[in-house]
């Protein structure tokens, strides 16, 4: 059945489409992984350490094909093939392989992320882990789930007892500044985790596996699904936006359980996060 023959929608049906497409894409990504390191399949993205594989492009093409079948005419913004940056109306935002370096090295921590936004705000989305088969999903106003089980963020209230996640840029200068920020943060928290896939870090906050997460320089496809999942699980969310005035910087994302959100924000500001 072509659910998208009309452009009417409800968020639950959009969630179903997100899950369906992300599952198919995840299966393709995992099936391709063993042949990814072959001559001619590895190229570079923005720097020599930021790889792109044939699998990225192939998986995104599958996602676009399936979305066109299920939601004909809906625009798509993807990491590999771009798309419209116009945010009015419905638009799908997809990351075919989030955690490309992990994928390249055979590390299991990577995901397929599929979200749909209206006027730039996520309505529904899914993050699927190909190696484990875990399916994270959310629909605006209807909560977040992991394999059908309702998610809720942690109840932690002390920053010094909090486990945080973060990530690093592939650009050396920004990476150095991020490392300096982390050095200032580490004495203020319990510990830090760096998983290498932003979508999964956001889902980890949703599940209470992390108490909070921050990063700078993410693209929309990195967070469109994961941020909604975290928010629907009860996380406080601060997304990247231009001309920000809160001191965190235009490219900052912050996601945390309510009990530490204010303290984490204050600590990031204290460590001069805006210089990142």
| 27-62 confidence digits (pLDDT tens) | 999 998 876 444 445 566 666 555 667 889 999 999
pLDDT digits (tens, 9 = 90+) for 54-106: 889 999 999 999 999 999 999 999 977 777 666 678 999 999 999 999 998 89
CA distances from 193 to 29, 54, 190, 206, 262 (A): 25, 29, 10, 15, 20
Q: At residue 29, what are phi and psi to the nearest 5 degrees?
A: -60, -45
Torsion-angle region of 127 (φ positive above 0: left; ψ -120 to 50: alpha; else: beta): beta
Do 205 and 235 touch, CB atoms closer than 8 A? yes
| Strand pairing report for 121-128 and 135-139 | antiparallel
pLDDT, mean of residues 177-186: 91
Between CA 65 and CA 70 the distance in angstroms is: 9
User: 242 or 22: whose pLDDT is higher?
Assistant: 22
**Residue whose C-alpha is closest to residue 131's, from 197, 67, 193, 50:** 197
**Dihedral sign (CA 7, 13, 14, 18):** negative
3-state secondary structure of 211: coil
**Dihedral sign (CA 215, 51, 76, 174):** positive
Specify the pLDDT at position 274.
55
Q: pTM, whole model, 2 decimals?
A: 0.91
């Amino acid at each position: 059945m072509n659910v998208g023959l009309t452009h009417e929608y409800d968020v639950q049906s959009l969630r179903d489409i997100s899950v369906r497409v992300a599952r198919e894409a995840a299966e393709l990504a995992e099936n391709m992984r063993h042949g990814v390191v072959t001559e001619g399949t590895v190229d570079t993205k923005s720097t020599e350490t930021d790889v792109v594989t044939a699998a990225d492009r192939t998986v995104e093409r599958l996602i676009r094909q399936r979305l066109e079948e299920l939601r004909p005419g809906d625009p798509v913004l993807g990491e590999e093939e771009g798309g419209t940056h116009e945010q009015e109306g419905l638009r799908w935002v997809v990351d075919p392989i989030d955690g490309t370096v992990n994928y390249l090295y055979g590390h299991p921590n990577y995901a397929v992320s599929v979200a749909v936004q209206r006027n730039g705000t996520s309505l529904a989305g899914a993050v699927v882990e190909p190696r484990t088969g875990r399916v994270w999903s959310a629909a605006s106003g209807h909560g977040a789930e992991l394999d059908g089980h309702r998610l809720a963020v942690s109840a932690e209230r002390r920053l010094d007892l909090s486990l945080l996640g973060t990530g690093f840029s592939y650009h050396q200068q920004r990476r150095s500044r991020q490392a300096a920020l982390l050095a200032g943060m580490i004495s203020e928290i319990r510990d830090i985790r760096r998983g290498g896939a932003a979508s999964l870090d956001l889902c980890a906050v949703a599940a209470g596996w992390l108490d909070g997460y921050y990063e700078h320089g993410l693209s929309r496809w990195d967070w469109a699904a994961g941020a909604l999942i975290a928010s629907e699980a009860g996380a406080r969310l601060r997304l990247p936006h231009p001309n920000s005035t809160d001191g965190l910087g235009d490219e900052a994302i912050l996601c945390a359980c309510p009990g530490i959100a204010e303290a984490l924000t204050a600590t990031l500001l204290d460590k001069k996060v805006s210089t990142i």
